[in-house]
Chains A and B, each alone.
Chain A
Amino acid sequence: METTRKKFNLRRFAIATLVLYIVFLIGPIVGLDVPAVYASIKSNPLQLVQFLIIGISNGAIIAIIALGYTMVYGIIELINFAHGDVYMIGVFTSLTVLSLTGTLESKDPAKIVFGLILALIVAIVFCAVLNATIERLAYRRLRNAPRLAPLISAIGMSFIIENIGLMWAAQAWLVPSFGTTGGASQKSFPDMLGILFTSLGWDVNLLASTGIALRLTIKDVMVIVLAVVLMVGLYLFVQRTRLGKAMRATAQNRDAAKMLGIDIDWVITATFLIGGGLAGAAGLMAGLYNNTAWWFMGFRAGLQSFTAAVLGGIGNIAGGMLGGFLIGLLASFSDGYLNARWTNALVFATLVLILLFRPTGLLGEQTGQKA
């Protein structure tokens, strides 16, 4: 017993050494220059805090999208591939509402606030309905099919929604700011919060008066506050309400829940409605925060938030939030200290590592034969 254990450890040690060697050998290609990063942190420690702020804000958005993945996976064990694209539609919906109400050109604070609230509501409702429609059209009839069938259907749905976004971004008659460059180019999402605060006569950077060389803008605060409100709301909803209880029951055992008189179809539809609504809210937040709208943005966001959901433990709401913030930080530090072009690859590498070494995630429970 003792010898086998020792041998085993030696092998692990050898593999770990080899992996470390390769990482240090290949690392510099991707910009992993440890001494340079160390020097950069030492010379400018505030930058670290800045990346932390950016990471948490982006992480908040990722966490909200991740909640949609994790809820759907928890209840029907399906990776809703189209979810990231529903979020993209959320960005375009809110941009269109802002444009149609004339908020984009206005400098009147009351009008801007009204426009933003209207955009939030419309984006939430539209994305919720869209997500539930996707479920009705593409997933419901495949609920008892072999497992790969709904996944392939979900990928197809994702393509369809992306294409709808591509078409939407080409409609200059609907939103004049899209311009005539066609749907494939990135569109700008005006910085409405900045305009709002400037028109009120306040400084956008909340730390400007303190003299600290950091930017903590109203956008960061808004995103984080809104995210926390939504998460707490969702948590209370799932834990306290009757429908939330029905959702948890369905997630645990669909057949047993059905026998106890729970309307499974309605519970699943409700899950998709909530997930879609959250994605819509995240769409407005991301648009206001990152100031871009692009038909392909749902793909990257979707993969980051799926990774977040897996990192936190898929099916676990608190885990989804935690994973979101962690992935946001990872992406932000990678953007800052490595190179932005490797961020996606890094997030993927994280996903692969989690799935291989801890498929249940950080907070997940044993989920049986899923991984």
Chain B
Amino acid sequence: MKNIRSGITFGIIGGLLTFLFGGWSVAVIGSLMGVGLGMGLSGKLERKNPLEIAKSVLPTALVAGAILVLLSLYQNNFVQEAIGKRPAVEKIVINANLIAFLGTVLFTTLLASLHGLPEKQEQRWKMILLGLLIIAFPFVDKLTALRWTAQIIFALIFVILGLGLNIVVGYAGLLDLGYAAFFAIGAYTTGILSSPQHGIFMNFWLVIWIAAGMAAIWGFMLGAPTLPLRGDYLAIVTLGFGEIVPVLFKNLIDVTIKEPLTCWILPGLFKLFGAKTTMACITLIEHEDLTAGEKGISPIGRPVIPFINYEFQSSNPIPWYFLIIAIILLSVFIIRRLRDSRLGRAWMAIREDELAAAQMGINPVRTKLAAFAMGATFSGFAGAFYASYIAGIFPSVFDFSASIIILCVVILGGIGNINGVIVGGLVIMTADRLFLPALKDFLASLLTHTVLPSISDPVMQLAVKDNANPILYRFLLFGLTLVIMMAVRPEGLLPNAQVRAELHPDETPVVEAETPKTNKAKKG
């Protein structure tokens, strides 16, 4: 019964999503929903024979699929007319809904029934299935002309950023509110080293490593002064650095560096004693436009695959998609190894109790600096990819709100949990990039065909029209995410068991019993 309820919830959410996108979207949404539902259900079920599990979840899957298809048909026949669009061609509707229904039922039962296999096999098969889905997604997207891939790439960039911040906030417990600074440093390194701005055109595959290294060096340098600080003072100081770095990039447009000894100090001394000199002033750099200020650096070089000489194009997101998937896989691999290493355990010890950890022989200075540097490295990757993908960078992208969006990703997904951060990044950024614009279009056309004609006062009409723009409320969305998550579920959607136990000290035994085994294995 409980399962059927979650089936209904999934079906309604998926169905409402089809209201916004229409057309073929129902097929993709149905399949993704099936995967989500199957994954969700498999955690709750007992380990039985796969066939029996499949039988037991089949009603849920059927209910979810049926609700989805019903809502989608309602959308096509009634909602489309209400917002002034023609319903889609019947052939597409039938095919899309059929695929959606089958996809939901198939994926739900398949993923849930995998739970019947032994744990290792279950993990492996899930990985294979997910991998196939990830590979298939951009092609399906292209076939169905939804154009989601380009937006998903942004979500994936924020997944990498979230993974990096997770090292600092989640593992080492240092709240960094200026993380976008390292993103900026990575992006600007790429911009300076592969653009006409300075006439340097380095290979992307080299630049991405330089960007990561540069970000790591700056993570080290900006982390060093904050070492004595804790808690909210640390947060404020990192926020300060996060503010200063974009300001620097915005204003480094006329750089003149004079060697102080010959230009200032010695002439000053001579002047003080009344002597006259004709000392040559050594000027290191004169009137150099380093970052092009508000105009931003563009165009920035794109990656070229060696040997076959294929250059990535902005019109075709599929190669970019696979590139960023590869970067994420690499990052997840490195971060997992780091987490389980001596250093990773030292980070968690520092997070739990710095004093005790220091007494046990952990060097807090080195450990914290390593956390800042490693965390920054991944945003260096993300920055290099971002700069190359957008082919232009502007200082306003990297301000405080970017840091907070990344923090939102980590908090929503679950502090300290890699899978959680990936889910959090996908949820937040697809909501921001796909859902809100679609909702805006939907509301706009809905209002023009329903409410607006009945308002006679032109001022009020304009006010209603302007205010029904959800993109205006995106900061509200991020703010609400933080406040609500802190109030309701501070451990995030997919919590790290340790963090969760810490946040709910009174219900520790219950948590222990509830935590599924897979989670523990992941936690390491």
> A residues bordering B, Cβ < 8 Å?
21, 24-26, 28-30, 34-35, 78-79, 137-138, 141-142, 145-153, 155-164, 166-167, 170-173, 180, 182-183, 299, 303, 306, 339, 341-342, 344-345, 348-349, 351-352, 355-356, 359, 369-371
**Is the pair A160, B479 in contact by a Cβ cutoff of 8 Å?**
yes
**Is the pair A155, B482 in contact by a Cβ cutoff of 8 Å?**
yes
Q: List 18 A-B contacts (CB under 8 A).
A: A149-B490, A149-B503, A151-B235, A152-B411, A152-B482, A155-B404, A160-B476, A160-B479, A170-B467, A182-B466, A342-B251, A344-B243, A344-B247, A345-B243, A348-B243, A352-B225, A355-B236, A356-B225
**Is the pair B233, A371 in contact by a Cβ cutoff of 8 Å?**
yes
Q: State the CA gap A150–B400 with chains docked (Å).
A: 19
Residue of A nearest to B175 (CB): A148
**Is the pair B247, A21 in contact by a Cβ cutoff of 8 Å?**
no
**Is the pair B463, A355 in contact by a Cβ cutoff of 8 Å?**
no
Tell whether B407 is near chain A: CB-to-CB under 8 Å: yes
Measured CB to CB, the closest approach of chain B to A175, in angstroms, equals 12
**Is the pair A159, B482 in contact by a Cβ cutoff of 8 Å?**
yes
Which residues of the partner chain B approach A371 to less than 8 Å between Cβ atoms?
228-230, 233
Tell whether B516 is near chain A: CB-to-CB under 8 Å: no
Partner of A155, one of B260, B407, B503: B407
Measured CB to CB, the closest approach of chain B to A178, in angstroms, equals 11
Known: A159-B476, A163-B473. A341 touches B232 (CB 8 A): no
Which residues of the partner chain B approach A78 to less than 8 Å between Cβ atoms?
232
**Is the pair A171, B463 in contact by a Cβ cutoff of 8 Å?**
yes
Tell whether B460 is near chain A: CB-to-CB under 8 Å: yes
Which residues of the partner chain A approach B237 to less than 8 Å between Cβ atoms?
351-352, 355
Which residues of the partner chain B approach A164 to less than 8 Å between Cβ atoms?
476
**Is the pair A138, B240 in contact by a Cβ cutoff of 8 Å?**
no
**Is the pair A163, B250 in contact by a Cβ cutoff of 8 Å?**
no
Which residues of the partner chain A approach B486 to less than 8 Å between Cβ atoms?
138, 142, 145, 149-150, 152-153, 156
* Extra 7 A-B pairs, beta carbons < 8 Å, given A28-B258, A155-B177: A21-B260, A151-B235, A153-B482, A159-B478, A167-B472, A170-B467, A299-B400
Which residues of the partner chain A approach B231 to less than 8 Å between Cβ atoms?
147-148, 151, 370
Residue with the highest number of chain A CB atoms closer than 10 Å, among B260, B463, B483: B483
Known: A28-B258, A29-B256, A371-B228. A159 touches B475 (CB 8 A): yes
Which residues of the partner chain A approach B175 to less than 8 Å between Cβ atoms?
148, 151-152
Partner of B467, one of A30, A141, A150, A167: A167
Which residues of the partner chain A approach B483 to less than 8 Å between Cβ atoms?
137-138, 153, 156-157, 160
Q: When A and B form their complex, which 5 residue pairs have the shortest distance between CB atoms, in order from nearest?
A: A156-B482, A159-B479, A24-B260, A348-B240, A160-B479
Tell whether B340 is near chain A: CB-to-CB under 8 Å: no
Q: Mark B473-491, 1 if CB is under 8 A from A, else 0.
A: 1011011111100110010
Tell whether B502 is near chain A: CB-to-CB under 8 Å: yes
Measured CB to CB, the closest approach of chain A to B472, in angstroms, equals 6
Q: By DSSP majority rule, is chain A's interface helix, strand, loop, or mixed?
A: helix
Tell whether B255 is near chain A: CB-to-CB under 8 Å: yes
**Is the pair B472, A170 in contact by a Cβ cutoff of 8 Å?**
yes
Q: State the CA gap A148–B173 with chains docked (Å).
A: 9
Known: A29-B255, A341-B251, A355-B237. A156 touches B481 (CB 8 A): yes
Which residues of the partner chain A approach B230 to less than 8 Å between Cβ atoms?
369-371
> B residues bordering A, Cβ < 8 Å?
175, 177, 225, 228-233, 235-237, 239-241, 243-244, 247-248, 250-252, 255-261, 264-265, 400-401, 404, 407, 411, 459-460, 462-463, 466-467, 472-473, 475-476, 478-483, 486-487, 490, 502-503
Measured CB to CB, the closest approach of chain B to A364, in angstroms, equals 13
Measured CB to CB, the closest approach of chain A to B498, in angstroms, equals 13
Residue of B nearest to A31 (CB): B251
Q: State the CA gap A352–B256 with chains docked (Å).
A: 26
Partner of A166, one of B235, B264, B472, B490: B472
Known: A159-B478, A299-B400. A345 touches B247 (CB 8 A): yes
Which residues of the partner chain B approach A158 to less than 8 Å between Cβ atoms?
479
**Is the pair A28, B463 in contact by a Cβ cutoff of 8 Å?**
no
Partner of A160, one of B255, B463, B480: B480
Known: A156-B480, A163-B475, A344-B247. A29 touches B252 (CB 8 A): yes
Measured CB to CB, the closest approach of chain A to B424, in angstroms, equals 14
Q: State the CA gap A346–B404 with chains docked (Å).
A: 22
Residue of A nearest to B405 (CB): A159
**Is the pair A29, B473 in contact by a Cβ cutoff of 8 Å?**
no
Which residues of the partner chain B approach A29 to less than 8 Å between Cβ atoms?
252, 255-257
**Is the pair A156, B459 in contact by a Cβ cutoff of 8 Å?**
no
**Is the pair A345, B244 in contact by a Cβ cutoff of 8 Å?**
yes
Q: State the CA gap A345–B257 with chains docked (Å).
A: 19
Residue of A nearest to B469 (CB): A170
Which residues of the partner chain B approach A369 to less than 8 Å between Cβ atoms?
230
Q: State the CA gap A172–B462 with chains docked (Å).
A: 9
Which residues of the partner chain B approach A299 to less than 8 Å between Cβ atoms?
400
Which residues of the partner chain A approach B472 to less than 8 Å between Cβ atoms?
163, 166-167, 170, 183
Which residues of the partner chain B approach A166 to less than 8 Å between Cβ atoms?
472, 475
Q: State the CA gap A167–B483 with chains docked (Å).
A: 19
Residue with the highest number of chain B CB atoms closer than 10 Å, among A170, A183, A348, A349: A348
**Is the pair B479, A79 in contact by a Cβ cutoff of 8 Å?**
no
Q: State the CA gap A157–B251 with chains docked (Å).
A: 30
Which residues of the partner chain A approach B229 to less than 8 Å between Cβ atoms?
355-356, 359, 371
Known: A152-B411, A158-B479. A370 touches B233 (CB 8 A): yes
Which residues of the partner chain B approach A348 to less than 8 Å between Cβ atoms?
240-241, 243-244
**Is the pair A24, B411 in contact by a Cβ cutoff of 8 Å?**
no
Known: A25-B257, A355-B229. A172 touches B459 (CB 8 A): yes
Measured CB to CB, the closest approach of chain B to A176, in angstroms, equals 9
Measured CB to CB, the closest approach of chain A to B437, in angstroms, equals 17
Q: State the CA gap A28–B482 with chains docked (Å).
A: 41
Residue of A nearest to B401 (CB): A159
**Is the pair A34, B257 in contact by a Cβ cutoff of 8 Å?**
no
Which residues of the partner chain A approach B250 to less than 8 Å between Cβ atoms?
341
Which residues of the partner chain A approach B503 to less than 8 Å between Cβ atoms?
145-146, 149
**Is the pair B502, A146 in contact by a Cβ cutoff of 8 Å?**
yes
Which residues of the partner chain B approach A28 to less than 8 Å between Cβ atoms?
256-258
Partner of B459, one of A30, A173, A355: A173
Measured CB to CB, the closest approach of chain B to A9, in angstroms, equals 21
Which residues of the partner chain B approach A345 to less than 8 Å between Cβ atoms?
243-244, 247-248
Partner of A342, one of B247, B264, B265, B401: B247
Residue of B nearest to A164 (CB): B476
**Is the pair A341, B247 in contact by a Cβ cutoff of 8 Å?**
yes
Which residues of the partner chain A approach B235 to less than 8 Å between Cβ atoms?
79, 148, 151
Residue of B nearest to A161 (CB): B479
Q: State the CA gap A147–B466 with chains docked (Å).
A: 40
Measured CB to CB, the closest approach of chain B to A34, in angstroms, equals 7
Measured CB to CB, the closest approach of chain A to B8, in angstroms, equals 30
Q: State the CA gap A306–B235 with chains docked (Å).
A: 13
Q: State the CA gap A121–B169 with chains docked (Å).
A: 42
**Is the pair B244, A349 in contact by a Cβ cutoff of 8 Å?**
yes
Q: State the CA gap A78–B486 with chains docked (Å).
A: 15
Q: State the CA gap A2–B486 with chains docked (Å).
A: 54
